[in-house]
Amino acid sequence: MTSPVPPDPEPAGEQAVRMLLRASGVDPDDPVLARTPQRVAATFAELFAGVHEDETAPLRHGDAVPRGTQVVALNDFEFRSICAHHLLPFSGTVSIAYSPVERIVGIGSIIRTLEILSTRPQLQEHLTQQFADAIVAGAGASGALVAMEARHSCIADRGPREAASRLRTIAAAGDLVDGEKRREALRAIHG
């Protein structure tokens, strides 16, 4: 009869960090690194908190569209995410314009939606389109246009080390994909 194996007291995330340190030639038992596995595991849990959340949920409530409102724009708010290719951060600003149909949504709801989407491993190009799609789906908007600009640590701090470079992406959904409404939305977010 074999004795039962006691459960490992260290959670899987912490074990993975210790293994990564070891694989990188770093001694995870160095006193300076004593709490590093715990800290890194907690950090990644926070950075990936949106993985199982519904990004459209914050957008499902709002107020009636004021008469004459055609486009609503929110400019230059900050975001941060983690690059899906290198698990390094990227951050920058985003501007959004949307065409409300039945309701306008609160600024906090828009920002919360982006927070949910950006707390997943992401590529900026995908994040931009996902955000536009979420505004249309969640807010019931007839269209959305999103412009993002970000600095990527995977380019700035490793590889080519182009610290000044920024990636700009624009994505649209619904009636802001092309035509005059798109031009209006671009003017609204670019001033």
Q: How far apart are CA 80 and CA 128, in angstroms?
A: 12
Find the length of the chain. 191
Q: Could you read off the pLDDT of 142-153 as tens digits, one per residue?
A: 999 999 999 999
Which pTM was predicted? 0.90
Q: Which of 124, 132, 125, 113 is nearest to 53 (CA)?
A: 113
Q: What is the pLDDT of residue 160?
A: 86
* Placement of tokens 């536009």 in the chain: 132
Task: Give the helix ranges, DSSP H, for the chain.
Answer: 12-23, 36-47, 107-118, 124-139, 153-156, 180-190
pLDDT confidence bin for 159, thresholds 50/70/90: confident
Q: Could you read off the pLDDT of 19-53 as tens digits, one per residue?
A: 999 999 999 999 999 999 999 999 999 999 999 99
Q: Which of 189, 175, 89 is nearest to 140 (CA)?
A: 175
Maximum mean pLDDT: which of 10-14, 101-105, 153-157, 162-166: 101-105
Q: Of the given ranges (5-19, 25-39, 77-91, 122-136), which has the lowest mean pLDDT?
A: 5-19
